[in-house]
Structure 1
Amino acid sequence: MTQTPNIPPVIESDEREYRDTGVPSTVAIAGHPIHPLLVTFPIAFLCGVLATDIGYWITSDLFWSRASMWLIGAGVATGIIAAITGLLDFLKINRVRQHSAGWIHMVGNVIALALSLVNFGYRWGNEAQAIIPTGIILSLIVATTLGVTGWYGAELVYRHKVAVIGYGPNERP
């Protein structure tokens, strides 16, 4: 006999949403969603730019300015690939568009990619001189934006069960 867990009163009104089995991703390999895997790369690269910019600010070593350019380039390239898979899910899964988390996640990530392209263009041919203060400010804004959009991406997965196939309350694996 399966017992249903006690649900705290705070989410009793959302009980049905939390107990459904979830919505699978439309871009998956063998049932595993691709978007959550791909987003780790642009997040790491674009947040790393803030670290390398700070490294340049502290040391004035040109290595850090070159590293920032490479990280921005890699972050934009992998971000575009991750964005395509996320956009396909956004367009094909109604549940994503029904929640503000989906819209904030998508719009914020588009802004982060656009600002990263601006940052890259601003630094082109002027890597080191572009870091203080404009480059580091752009890097900080992008890293902060990715933190916020990552939060909302997690809301989609963990709260709204997008790209999740689980078991209902009366099912067992």
Structure 2
Amino acid sequence: MTQTPNIPPLIESDEREYRDTGVPSTVAIAGHPIHPLLVTFPIAFLCAVLATDLAYWLTQDLFWARASMWLIGAGVVTGIIAAITGLMDFLKINRVRQHSAGWIHLIGNVAALALSLINFGLRWGNQANAIVPTGIIVSLVVATTLGVTGWYGAELIYRHKVAVIGYGPNERP
């Protein structure tokens, strides 16, 4: 497959990568990478905002507007913590930067956090007024973006073996 130098395709398939043992995460406890564990929280919080926004739209119950605000706040805080661990791997593991999946994952997640901060700011002082339609649209864009960046995060782990410690042919337990 002929490729343009320095511009990796969106999904690469290099047989050699499937045969190597992987690259461990630079942020790990007892060999277990921290970033994949931490990302579950902001993904859950920020995707749930879409559900609570829709619940507010359908019921006009202020509980859902407050719930959205709390979810965005929790999503941004946990997202920043997850981003720090992911950025450390991005900067220290050359394999991540070599693939478009790493760049899409990074840029998309930064965009999702930035949009979430904007969404939080729009709601500050009056949580309900910013939900229909702006809040719902922003929440939908954030949830969709997180779906795409999650896909590319999995691409890094399962296809490019980043944050994976494999066994060589003579090292099976």
- Is the TM value for this pair above 0.5? yes
1:37 paired residue number: 37
2:7 paired residue number: none
Quote how far apart the aligned CAs of 1:38 are: 0.2
1:160 paired residue number: 160
1:90 paired residue number: 90
Quote how far apart the aligned CAs of 1:172 are: 1.4
Q: Could you tell me whether the CA contact under 8 Å between 1:39 and 1:82 is conserved in 2?
A: yes
1:23 paired residue number: 23
1:142 paired residue number: 142
5+ residue gaps, structure 1:
1-12
Quote how far apart the aligned CAs of 1:98 are: 0.2
What CA distance in whole angstroms lies between the structure 2 residues aligned with 1:130 and 1:165?
45
- Alignment partner of 1:67 is 2:63: no
Structure 2-normalised TM-score? 0.91
2:104 paired residue number: 104
C-alpha RMSD over aligned residues: 0.9
What CA distance in whole angstroms lies between the structure 2 residues aligned with 1:18 and 1:159?
7
Quote how far apart the aligned CAs of 1:16 are: 1.7
- Alignment partner of 1:172 is 2:143: no
- Alignment partner of 1:57 is 2:57: yes
Give a deviation string over 1:53-106, Cα, whole Å, max 9, x none: 000011000000000000000000000000000000000000000000000000
- Give the secondary-structure state (helix, strand or coil) at the position aligned to 2:14: helix
Task: Give 1:150's aligned amino acid.
Answer: G
What CA distance in whole angstroms lies between the structure 2 residues aligned with 1:16 and 1:130?
50
What CA distance in whole angstroms lies between the structure 2 residues aligned with 1:16 and 1:166?
14
Q: Could you tell me whether the CA contact under 8 Å between 1:19 and 1:168 is conserved in 2?
A: no
Structure 1-normalised TM-score? 0.91
1:6 paired residue number: none
Q: Which has the larger radius of gyration?
A: 1
2:131 paired residue number: 131
2:9 paired residue number: none
Moved over 6 A (4+): none
- Give the secondary-structure state (helix, strand or coil) at the position aligned to 1:109: helix
Task: Give 1:151's aligned amino acid.
Answer: W
How many residues matched?
161
1:3 paired residue number: none
- Give the secondary-structure state (helix, strand or coil) at the position aligned to 1:56: helix
5+ residue gaps, structure 2:
1-12
Quote how far apart the aligned CAs of 1:167 are: 1.4
Q: Could you tell me whether the CA contact under 8 Å between 1:65 and 1:127 is conserved in 2?
A: yes
What CA distance in whole angstroms lies between the structure 1 residues aligned with 2:106 and 2:14?
24
1:115 paired residue number: 115
